[in-house]
Amino acid sequence: MLNTHSRTVYTPEHEAFRETVRAWLQKEAVPHIARWDEQGIVDKDIWRKGGEIGMLCPTVPEDYGGLGLDFGYNAIIDEEVSYAGTPLGFSLQSDIVVNYLVSYGSEEQKREWLPKMVSGEVVTAIAMTEPGTGSDLQGIRTTAKKDGNHYVINGSKTYITNGQNADLILVCAKTDTEVEPAWKGVSIILVEATRDGFKRGRNLDKIGQDAADTSELFFEDVRVPMTNCLGEEGKGFIYLMSELPQERLAIAIGAQASAQRAFDDTVAFTKDRKAFGKTVFDFQNTRFTLADLKSKLQVGWAHIDWALARHLKRELTPEEGAAAKLWHTEMQWEVMDKCLQLHGGAGYMNEYPIARAWRGARVSRIYGGANEIMKELIGRKL
């Protein structure tokens, strides 16, 4: 399990919650990992089970069915889910989507959706990426054109997390295709999965994170009332940018925890595996490699606590969020790759956890904004 004795950011109340989360994961999620990977998606009923113990959207105010807790509780869930190696899509709902509803949603939208997101009755997704548009959100082509008191949405999205299970999708679309600069024409529209013209494409075949449903979504003359616009029309890009520090911090937290699990597993493996008459751990190269990784993990946890403390005070800047995402995902990949190497041939076998973890970690440097974009964002503030 994660060793949190030297952590500086959490209270005893946080740690009591961690024990609840850890026990729930071992009972409800860990036993099903292999089956979920094989079927390419988690069972949807896991969402309601998670909602029952407060694992979904803990920061939602009590007035809307939530617990009204701070983001530290989200961080604990992210750490424990990642350390356990479970493919749950809770982070997208709790760390990303829900903030848009809480911060910019109308009273009607909040009362309709937030209690259901907390309980797990509703699974959400956010549809930004398109086949021809990745990190450059200004270039999206999906449109939402006005027709009376409705929007008519046309376009397609890809690489959408929770795409197969989602009941509600926050769709980034152009409500104004003429305005310059282009970002001023982007709005966020709430689209229920039951709307005519909405179709799910295939559950995409990835090189890792097999049980995470990542999908294509299609919108063909999908009509939604104009009251489904989140916040103000044309402010979508601003809303997206304002929420990115938390999203990137959440990615950094998950990367750190999964790297720690890979390291812990590798220490145990090398102490058990024999080669040339002694354990693999007894070779100086093994110990030196692990010592280097342990040092970086130690630094990483200190930085996570620093960044989380700043975020809890609403002081984490966009470039600091970008730097956290950049550093921790690069460190995660180094840990994964070196740990796999220390497993030898076993590391290339999917039956060993390190192989699954190594494959799953590769996308961390891509989603949430590719790491090359993180460098650009940081560089602009130098």
Report which DSSP code applies to 8.
S
**What string of DSSP letters covers 77-137?**
HHHHHHHHT----HHIIIIIIHHHHHHH--HHHHHHHHHHHHHTSS-EEEE--BTTBSS-G
This prediction has a pTM of: 0.94
Mean pLDDT of the chain: 95
- Please confirm, yes or no, whether 62 is among the known catalytic residues: no
Res 136 pLDDT > 80: no
Q: Catalytic residue among 247, 319, 334, 372, which?
A: 247
pLDDT for the residue 117:
98
Exposure string over 358-368, b if 16+ CB within 10 A, otherwise e:
bbbbbbbbebb
Res 79 pLDDT > 80: yes
Query: How confident is the model over 213-266, as pLDDT tens digits?
Result: 999 999 999 999 999 999 999 999 999 988 889 999 999 999 999 999 999 999
Q: Which residues contact 270 (CB under 8 A, 6 or more apart)?
A: 279, 280, 281, 286, 290, 342
Query: Which superfamily, per CATH, for 238-380?
Result: Butyryl-CoA Dehydrogenase, subunit A, domain 3 (1.20.140.10)
Which tokens sit at 27?
């009972």
Distance CA 123, CA 103 (A): 19
Which tokens sit at 371?
């790491």
12-122, which class in CATH?
A: mainly alpha
C-beta atoms surrounding 193 within 10 Å: 18
pLDDT for the residue 102:
97
Q: How confident is the model at residue 376 (pLDDT cuts 50, 70, 90)?
A: very high
CATH topology identical between 125-234 and 238-380 = no
**Of all residues in the chain, what percent carry a pLDDT higher than 90?**
90
Query: Which superfamily, per CATH, for 125-234?
Result: Butyryl-CoA Dehydrogenase, subunit A, domain 2 (2.40.110.10)
Q: What's the average model confidence in pLDDT over 294-304?
A: 98
Res 5 pLDDT > 90: no
pLDDT for the residue 135:
64
State the helix-helix crossing angle for 107-119 and 45-52, rounded to 10 degrees.
Answer: 100
Q: What's the average model confidence in pLDDT over 41-63?
A: 96
Q: What's the average model confidence in pLDDT over 356-375?
A: 95
3-state class of 372 per DSSP? helix
**What string of DSSP letters covers 163-178?**
TTT-SEEEEEEES-SS
- Which residue type is seen at 143? T
pLDDT for the residue 178:
81
State the helix-helix crossing angle for 236-272 and 284-312, rounded to 10 degrees.
Answer: 150
Q: Helix H segments across the chain?
A: 12-28, 33-39, 45-52, 71-84, 90-91, 98-104, 107-119, 236-272, 284-312, 318-342, 353-361, 371-380
Residue 57's Cβ-side half-sphere holds a number of Cα atoms within 13 Å equal to: 30
Res 134 pLDDT > 80: no
Query: How confident is the model over 105-127, as pLDDT tens digits?
Result: 999 999 999 999 999 999 999 99
Distance CA 324, CA 144 (A): 34
- Burial (0-12, 13-18, 19+ Cβ within 10 Å), 55: buried
- Extents of the domains making up the chain: 12-122, 125-234, 238-380
